[in-house]
């Protein structure tokens, strides 16, 4: 049988077709636009996501027997607010995970409701990218639209709703809404009251591998698929990527270098970081995880290369960066192009270079960008270690992980061993695996990844380079506190 994985990203949807053994048969990518109507705002039209999927799935499946396609599972960008009226019409563009307009609402939640109470209710404090502050922003700034909301959902849940007609979500994605009592895996009635919404407006909750429905007749015809195709609840992109990399069970770690960057640490039990630098979320395997998220990761390198240097020759730009050069530069880069989440929770934070002199070269600044993102991930690793968690190794995936140089920098900056999965398709592969479990191909997510996920490469830190980066990191971590007061002036 065949399984389709949907990776609903910020710039494109990646569609993956695999068989029951995990062998990938085809991959198709379809792009869609991203809108920035005001500085710090970030929006997309949900209809664009669905249009891309309708274009992509027929291409994905054109060379296989479509009657053998059994299931679909999605991993999607988290936190985005999608709202529909009672006639299933999208009320406004989706407000995305990297949108920073809700600072006032975020501050009100953290200060008036209180971080301690929020943590007790949901396991997390408010961040500007989370869904609850966006609802409060709509309530204040778009009251007429807010009053017409019939259904509230996350981006990948909009896809599932269009496919099946079922208003659903999974626990991992719902964890990032600040509406879920993560510890008890139910909606928080108090948070719903605070946001002025009802449980009837929210989706039904499922585990990530559970089947939520089958394809609607009209959708099956449009996609060229059987109506019997089962759709599972799926997962937030980071949880789906972790499944795709085999990071399930207790004490496993995954670093994802996509548009955003995350460090994802699994736990069989619910745990909370008292400093609230890490998110306490449910995992797609039925357990929990701690996650640190920086808003700009591989997007920093893309911005530097394409917008500033006006080149797409990434390898050429990195060619002069030899290993003996790592950790020796005096240029620093703060990776806050869209503000920052972990560990600073500061939408006003801005990206900048520091330490440049007359002998600073283009290559020095390219290296500083790569190092700055690695230092940003280390900020979250430091927060995890304060909980007594010792991370000795991690999987690494995402577009940024395709760079051998960047993987080497990460291994040395974090001073841990990094392993690379044979299949580096992250959320799409994880979504397809969840679909296979939901369709009964495997008895559990753990059983599935043992059979399907394999390691193809290992990158180990160099002791001398790690020591140089240790000293450089200590300088890096002092930069944000020194500049924090200036950022709101920009």
pLDDT tens-place string over residues 57-66: 999 999 999 9
Q: What is the pLDDT at residue 436?
A: 98
Task: Give the least confident one: 87-91, 230-234, 363-367, 453-457.
Answer: 453-457
Report pLDDT for 92.
Answer: 98
For tokens 């700009």, what's the residue?
Answer: 296
Which domains does the chain show, CATH number per domain?
2-240 (3.30.420.40), 246-427+437-489 (3.30.420.40)
**Average pLDDT, integer, range 167-180:** 98
- CA-to-CA distance for 419 and 460, rounded, in angstroms? 9
pLDDT at 341 over 80: yes
- Helical packing angle, 426-438 and 237-244, nearest 10°: 80
Instruction: Assess whether pLDDT exceeds 90 at residue 282.
Output: yes
Name the residues annotated as catalytic: 237
Please state, as a whole number, how many other Cβ atoms lie within 10 Å of the Cβ of residue 182.
Answer: 24
| Contact in structure between 449 and 243 (CB atoms under 8 Å) | yes
- Asked if residue 172 has pLDDT above 80, the reply is yes
Instruction: Give 98's pLDDT tier (boundaries 50, 70, 90).
Output: confident
Q: What pLDDT, on a 0 to 100 scale, did the predictor assign at position 93? A: 98
Q: For residue 411, with 0-12 CB atoms within 10 Å meaning exposed, 13-18 middle and 19 or more buried, which class applies?
A: buried
How does DSSP classify residue 488? G
Confidence of residue 19 (pLDDT cuts 50, 70, 90): very high
Q: What is the mean pLDDT of residues 99-128?
A: 94
pLDDT for 424: 76
Indicate the annotated binding residues for substrate: 78-79
Partners of residue 180 on adjacent β-strands: 187
Q: What is the pLDDT of residues 377-398, one digit of tens each?
A: 999 999 888 887 888 899 998 8
The two beta strands, 393-397 and 253-257, are parallel
- What mean pLDDT, rounded, does the chain reach? 95
User: How many angstroms separate the CA atoms of 433 and 284, rounded?
Assistant: 11
pLDDT of residue 389: 82
Mean pLDDT over 108-129 rounds to 95
pLDDT mean over 159-181: 98
Residues sharing a CB contact under 8 Å with residue 99, sequence separation 6 or more, in sequence order: 40, 41, 42, 43, 128, 129, 134
Residue 268 confidence (pLDDT): 83
pLDDT grade for 269, boundaries at 50, 70 and 90: confident
Determine the Cα–Cα distance for residues 349 and 388; give it in Å rounded to an integer: 29
pLDDT bucket at 100, cuts 50 / 70 / 90 = confident
Give the separation between CA 253 and CA 413, rounded to whole angstroms: 16
Helices (H), 123-175: 131-141, 143-147, 155-164, 171-174
Position 388 scores a pLDDT of: 79
Start-to-end C-alpha separation, the chain: 54
User: What is the C-alpha to C-alpha distance for residues 283 and 212, in angstroms, rounded to an integer?
Assistant: 18
pLDDT digits (tens, 9 = 90+) for 420-440: 998 878 899 999 999 999 999
The closest of 393, 401, 406 to 422, measured between CA atoms, is: 401
In the predicted structure, residue 258 carries a pLDDT above the cut 90: no
Does residue 274 carry a pLDDT above 80? no
155 vs 103, 168, 341, CA distance in Å? Answer: 21, 11, 20
Q: Which segment of 29-43, 269-283, 310-324 scores lowest on mean pLDDT?
A: 269-283
SS3 state of residue 375 = helix
pLDDT at 358 over 80: yes
Single pTM value for the model: 0.86
Of the listed ranges 154-158, 288-292, 363-367, 382-386, the one predicted with least confidence: 382-386
At 390 the pLDDT is 83
CA–CA dist 373, 297 (Å, integer): 6
Cis peptide before 288 (omega within 30 of 0): no
Return the residue matching tokens 């880069």: 333
């Amino acid at each position: 049988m065949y399984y389709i994985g949907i990776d609903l990203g910020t710039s494109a949807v990646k569609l993956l077709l695999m068989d029951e053994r995990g062998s990938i048969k085809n991959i198709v990518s379809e792009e869609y636009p991203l809108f920035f109507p005001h500085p710090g705002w970030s929006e997309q039209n949900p209809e664009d996501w669905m249009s891309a999927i309708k274009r992509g799935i027929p291409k994905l499946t054109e060379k296989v027997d479509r009657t053998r396609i059994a299931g679909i599972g999605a991993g999607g960008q988290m936190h985005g607010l999608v709202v529909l009226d009672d006639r299933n019409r999208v009320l406004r563009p989706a407000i995305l995970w990297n949108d920073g307009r809700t600072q006032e609402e975020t501050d009100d939640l953290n200060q008036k409701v209180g971080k301690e109470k929020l943590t007790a209710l949901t396991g997390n404090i408010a961040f500007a990218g989370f869904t609850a502050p966006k609802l409060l922003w709509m309530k204040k700034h778009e009251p007429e639209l807010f009053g017409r909301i019939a259904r509230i959902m996350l981006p990948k849940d909009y896809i599932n709703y269009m496919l099946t007609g079922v208003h659903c979500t999974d626990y991992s994605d719902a964890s990032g809404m600040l509406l879920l009592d993560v510890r008890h895996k139910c909606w928080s009635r108090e948070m719903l009251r605070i946001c002025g919404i009802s449980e009837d407006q929210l989706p039904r909750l499922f585990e990530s591998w559970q089947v939520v429905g089958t394809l609607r007749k009209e959708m099956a015809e449009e996609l060229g698929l059987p109506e019997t195709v089962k759709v599972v609840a799926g997962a937030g992109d980071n949880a789906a990527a972790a499944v795709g990399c085999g990071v399930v069970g207790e004490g496993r770690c995954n670093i994802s270098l996509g548009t955003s960057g995350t460090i994802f640490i699994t736990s069989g039990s619910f745990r909370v970081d008292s400093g609230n630098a890490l998110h306490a979320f449910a995992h797609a395997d039925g357990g929990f995880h701690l996650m640190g998220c920086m808003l700009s990761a591989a997007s920093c390198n893309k911005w530097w290369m394409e917008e500033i240097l006006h080149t797409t020759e990434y390898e050429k730009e990195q060619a002069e960066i030899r290993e003996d050069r790592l950790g020796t530069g005096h240029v620093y880069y703060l990776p806050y192009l869209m503000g920052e989440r972990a560990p600073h929770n500061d939408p006003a934070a801005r990206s900048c270079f520091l330490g440049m002199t007359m002998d600073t070269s283009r290559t020095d600044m390219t290296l500083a960008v790569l190092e700055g993102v690695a230092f940003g991930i280390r900020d979250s690793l430091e927060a995890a270690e304060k909980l007594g968690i010792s991370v000795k190794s991690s999987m690494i995936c995402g577009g940024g992980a395709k760079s051998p140089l960047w993987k080497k920098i990460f291994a040395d900056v974090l001073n841990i061993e990094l392993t690379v999965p044979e299949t580096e398709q992250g959320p799409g592969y994880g979504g397809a695996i969840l679909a296979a479990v939901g369709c009964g191909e495997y008895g559990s997510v753990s059983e599935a990844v043992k059979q399907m996920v394999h390691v193809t490469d290992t990158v180990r830190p160099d002791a001398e380079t790690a020591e140089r980066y240790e000293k450089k990191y200590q300088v890096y971590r002092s930069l944000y506190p020194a500049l924090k007061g200036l950022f709101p002036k920009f």
